[in-house]
Structure 1
Amino acid sequence: MENYLFIDKSVDKIEYGEVKNKELVSYCSSCYNEIRVGDIFRSVVKKKVPSLNCYFVELEGKKEGFLDFKDVIYDIKLGDVIFVEVYKINLGNKAPNVSMNFSVSSMFSVISYKNTGISLSKKIKNSMIKLEKFKEIKTDFGIKLRTKCIDIDEEFVLSDVLNNLKIFEKIIESRNNLPHCKLIYRNENFLTDFLVNNNSKICVVNDKKLFKSLKNDRFLENEFILDENYKLKYDYNVGIYMESLTKKSLSFKNINIVIESFEALTVVDVNSKNSFLKNDKSKNSLKINEIALKEIVRQISFRNISGIIIVDFINMKLSDRESFESLIKNLELPDERIWTFHGFTKTGLYEITRQRGK
């Protein structure tokens, strides 16, 4: 096959993405033992640091979370057991940002702690969904119906809301359970969201239980193929490319790229082994940088690099820099994170930022 989705489930992680024309065009991984955005912990308030406008809370296994004062929704004191949700993963050993306004979500609804009543996404307000049955639900928590509810059976959406409420209430009831510091909820809908966004495409799955679950999902229109021997690193189309994601230096098309990650930022250096256009040094630099840019963006996405990224491209004339900037405006990005291309600094380095997340 030349075009397909893949889900490679192993003992410690799930890797998933898309191969198009025998080339890796999207890739994500989710490790079981790492803290993720969306994780909900029962935690204990350990320290208050007024100088940083925050509390530090113990999450699990001596791991701490950074609870900004703005993310506190009711009065708390040291030693209190509270629920928090991770909403930002920070670089290095820095504690992840957490909020007391946690939520439980699915494809069709979101239940949140702080809000009350029923809210609708903008697109759903003009749909035919009636709210009478939803208004009969007795709860102190907020209910939001998501855009994907449109054209879905109302009874099914109601069932989805009630199921999320049940999960949410079970979390609340566990406040006094032991141990106090524990991961108590993890949203596992990322695979469903990935498949919905790539509906009707063929997907190779290597886990029998997961295969059956996905195949029986009435909202997925993908064609699933079970191959228990499938391993991404041995995929004849992209296996060799996957090795480059673990290397500091990679070479392709006579271009060498070095990627070095530090606690505060990531630095990328671009070099060329040969000239593409020997008669025009500046145009040659532009050509090399164009090719390097596309690969750098892929590497940033697939390695899940976020925060500040500084790229040392090969020097170009001012007019060629303008052409390069035009290319960036039309660049097709490989993921849905927020990317910002800030442009060249006074020293000639190019600055990029990419949103942190899952």
Structure 2
Amino acid sequence: MSYELIISSVQDECRIALLKEKGLVEFHQEDQGNKFTVGDIYLGTVKKVVQGLNAAFIDIGYEKDAFLHYLDLGPQVNSLNKFTKTVQNRGQVSYKMAKFPMEADIDKLGKINQVLSKNQQILVQVVKEPISTKGPRLSCELSLAGRYLVLVPFSNSVNVSKKVSDSDERKRLVRLISSIKPENFGVIIRTVAEGKDVAELDKDLSSLVQLWEDGMKKLKSAKPRDKVIGEMGRASSILRDVLNESFDSITVDDKVIFEEVRTYLRQIAPDKEKLLKFHNGKAKIFEHFGIEKQLKSLFGQSVSLSGGGYLIIEHTEAMHVIDVNSGNKSNSENNQEDTALAVNLEAVKEIARQLRLRDMGGIIVVDFIDMRNADHKRMVYERMKEEMKGDRSKFTVLPLSKFGLMQITRQRVRPELNITTKETCPTCGGTGKITASILVSDQIEHHLEHLITKQNEKSIRLAVHPFIHAYYTKGLFSKQLGWFFKYKRWVSIMQDTSLPILEFKFYNANQEEIELH
């Protein structure tokens, strides 16, 4: 299985696409003006303590105050506040926190006003970016993520990712990290640390401790709203989380990002530096890799499945709803139950991809095609869990209900990605909307293949707008000629100026229009 990372920089925006077997599975748009990234640590000021919510609103520089709940303070928040105050007052304290006297843990069922007071300065970390009308969500349980480890200040525990299943390997990693970690720092061992030797883990740990020290030096002179420790760029953070042996290439079209990624690769995986390439071709990088076309076809309300079915994806403030439809071409199975199972299993793969691609979070309800067989329902449930294993967000999948509905919850820490795929209609000048015009050739190809291979039409004529006619017929090796070699029959193409640019018609040997579905 091959993975490719494509990074494009245009004006104040960085676009990042992760391809799996040439198909788009993750897409990120990073606005350079967005200050509040998950993982950033700020010096905030308590603006309001709300006992009814058992939470506080913190000013970190966003237009709306950020939200901090009591349960997100962490048991060692008093130690954090004491350390912050000592550093700010330029007291004698080791940034490595060796010999730092820790405070007692706070009560799990306590009240926010027992810990925080108005105008108090506090170190906070962004755990959820501003979404819709809400400000950032914060936590005082600080953590610094590295390639193999996550460093947790004011803790002493060592934990291993649940995805590391081998008990002997778990014990080895805990024993190894416990022997090298600094005092008053906890560590979470990530899945990719499995099988790594002590030198690699120690190097990662040292870089995280250094990052903490640099941040605490900055805290000495920091003012309220200042960023004390910043998360790395989105490109580097994706590499940190997904880089593995399956990676084939990393292609960048911006010199600054190219150098940033190269520097980061030298730190975490020097052997992978040879995969990094700089794109300087005439075609834009996203056009070159066919990503623009995939974006147009994957972010619409309707998403086609290769077997003829399709998904309808609706977004609301409260939840996301996905409806699975068989279409009228999914008739290759023997009976209705087999057809439903085949379409549902195909839909599962696309749904898992769409959740990751659009970064859909909260509650997702999927309305699958009704199936009576309990084994088939279980098969769809198990396949969904399997397909979502590669998702880096936390998720929960429930079995199908008696109404054929599947409920999924998925953690979302950034605003959901939505790309407008509707275009202004060239005929009505914007009073209506059309589907992405770039997809008209795909629709023609799809219908043509069905007419020849499934309906076995012997003689076909295609009527199109003159612009589309030129697209298919011009050139020595035209697309029309390509059809002849592919289907072993000639498809006549005629110009029809009465047709809008995105409409087309097929005719049979009797000059009768073939009805398309």
Q: Does 1:83 align with 2:123?
A: yes
The residue correspondences of 1:56-205 to structure 2 (distance < 5 A) are 56-72=57-73, 73-74=77-78, 75-89=115-129, 92-107=132-147, 111-115=151-155, 123-127=172-176, 131=180, 142=185, 144=187, 148=193, 150-152=197-199, 156=203, 160-161=207-208, 163-175=210-222, 177=223, 180-188=224-232, 189-194=236-241, 196-198=243-245, 201-205=248-252
Q: Does 1:251 align with 2:291?
A: no
Shift of 1:226: 0.4
> Match of 1:318?
373
Percentage of identical aligned residues = 24
State TM-score, norm by structure 2.
Answer: 0.58
Paired amino acid for 1:352: I
> Match of 2:22?
22
Shift of 1:357: 3.2
Paired amino acid for 1:294: K
Number of residue equivalences: 347
Shift of 1:83: 1.8
Shift of 1:352: 1.1
Paired amino acid for 1:53: N
> Match of 2:344?
289
Of residues 272, 277, 292, the one that matches 1:225 is 277
Of residues 326, 340, 347, the one that matches 2:396 is 340
Structure 2 residue matching 1:63: 3-state secondary structure: coil
The residue correspondences of 1:205-216 to structure 2 (distance < 5 A) are 205-216=252-263
Higher relative contact order (CA 8 A, sep 6+): 1
Q: Does 1:44 align with 2:45?
A: yes
- Higher fraction of strand: 1
> In structure 1, how many angstroms separate the alpha carbons of the residues matched to 2:344 and 2:277?
39
Closer/same/farther in 2, CA of residues 256 and 109 from structure 1, 3 Å limit: closer
> In structure 2, how many angstroms separate the alpha carbons of the residues matched to 1:194 and 1:69?
29
Shift of 1:54: 0.7
> In structure 1, how many angstroms separate the alpha carbons of the residues matched to 2:351 and 2:205?
45
> Match of 1:357?
413
Closer/same/farther in 2, CA of residues 271 and 226 from structure 1, 3 Å limit: same
Structure 2 residue matching 1:41: 3-state secondary structure: strand
> In structure 2, how many angstroms separate the alpha carbons of the residues matched to 1:97 and 1:158?
27
Q: Is the contact made by 2:144 and 2:151 (CA closer than 8 Å) also made in structure 1?
A: yes
> Match of 1:299?
354
Closer/same/farther in 2, CA of residues 12 and 197 from structure 1, 3 Å limit: farther
Of residues 260, 268, 282, the one that matches 2:322 is 268
> Match of 2:92?
none
Of residues 371, 383, 386, the one that matches 1:327 is 383
Closer/same/farther in 2, CA of residues 295 and 12 from structure 1, 3 Å limit: farther
Q: Is the contact made by 1:89 and 1:356 (CA closer than 8 Å) also made in structure 2?
A: no
Closer/same/farther in 2, CA of residues 35 and 243 from structure 1, 3 Å limit: farther
Shift of 1:300: 1.0
Closer/same/farther in 2, CA of residues 125 and 345 from structure 1, 3 Å limit: closer
Paired amino acid for 2:342: K
Q: Is the contact made by 1:39 and 1:85 (CA closer than 8 Å) also made in structure 2?
A: yes
Structure 2 unaligned spans of 5+: 79-114, 161-169, 415-517
Shift of 1:151: 4.1
- Higher fraction of helix: 2
Q: Which moved more, 1:156-165 or 1:334-343?
A: 156-165
> In structure 2, how many angstroms separate the alpha carbons of the residues matched to 1:262 and 1:120?
37
Shift of 1:267: 0.9
Shift of 1:264: 1.8
State TM-score, norm by structure 1.
Answer: 0.81
Shift of 1:336: 2.0
Shift of 1:343: 2.0
> In structure 2, how many angstroms separate the alpha carbons of the residues matched to 1:276 and 1:309?
25
Structure 1 residue matching 2:399: 3-state secondary structure: strand
Structure 2 residue matching 1:250: 3-state secondary structure: strand
